[in-house]
Structure 1
Amino acid sequence: MDSLTASEQRELQSRMERKQMKEFMGTSQMFSNLVTHCFDSCVDDFTTKSLVQRETGCVSRCVKKFMAGSERIGTRFQEQQAQMMNQPPPGR
């Protein structure tokens, strides 16, 4: 980064900050989707302040399924990316 001009360094820093913000927003959205889905699917007894045992178990299973699904999707995406990188360019 020492070989960049001050202007180029600022531009690079700005791009890195935007990328980090996009990643953070994506993670925040995923977490929000998880909370909404598991709450809507599992919590239906509003007569107590805390979750009943059935709801606690449901939420735990829901989160585990969501995380396993997300991990599997990420793995498949990486596999597809690797395959694409190993293919020759079109037209050759």
Structure 2
Amino acid sequence: MAAIPEMSEADQIKTFKDFLVQYNKLSELCFNDCIHDFTSRTLKPSEDKCTVNCMEKYLRTNQRVSQRFHEFQMLANENMMALAQKSGQ
């Protein structure tokens, strides 16, 4: 089995920063869409449900976009290999 190369510290920091940017973006988006009443310290049930739905929808959408991008990249790579093979003949 091939060894998985270790991530450098700089790569780990970049990955963590990217995660934080996405987390903050999601938090701000769902907060702005779902929280409207600031008269209480606790979330209303409707606000809680809205934030959960918002988060789930965001994550499903992000997963689907990533999946489609991966599919597109695979197809593009296959097309490039076929073109290179055809040009080499």
> TM-score, structure 2 length as denominator?
0.78
**Higher relative CO (CA 8 A, sep ≥ 6), structure 1 or 2?**
2
CA apart distance, 1:81: 1.5
- Counterpart residue type for residue 88 of structure 1: M
- Which consecutive residues of structure 2, in runs of 5 or more, have no partner in the other structure? 1-5
C-alpha distance in 2, partners of 1:72/1:23?
20
Does structure 1 residue 85 correspond to structure 2 residue 54? no
Q: Encode CA deviations 1:58-90: one digit per residue, 9 max, x unaligned.
A: 101100100101100110111112112212266
> TM-score, structure 1 length as denominator?
0.76
Alignment-derived partner of residue 52 in structure 1: 44
Alignment-derived partner of residue 23 in structure 1: 15
Match among 14, 21, 31 for residue 39 of structure 1: 31
For the residue of structure 1 that corresponds to 2:43, the secondary structure is coil
CA apart distance, 1:27: 1.0
For the residue of structure 1 that corresponds to 2:80, the secondary structure is coil
- Which consecutive residues of structure 1, in runs of 5 or more, have no partner in the other structure? 1-12
For the residue of structure 1 that corresponds to 2:17, the secondary structure is helix
Q: CA RMSD in A?
A: 2.1
For the residue of structure 2 that corresponds to 1:87, the secondary structure is helix
CA apart distance, 1:44: 0.7
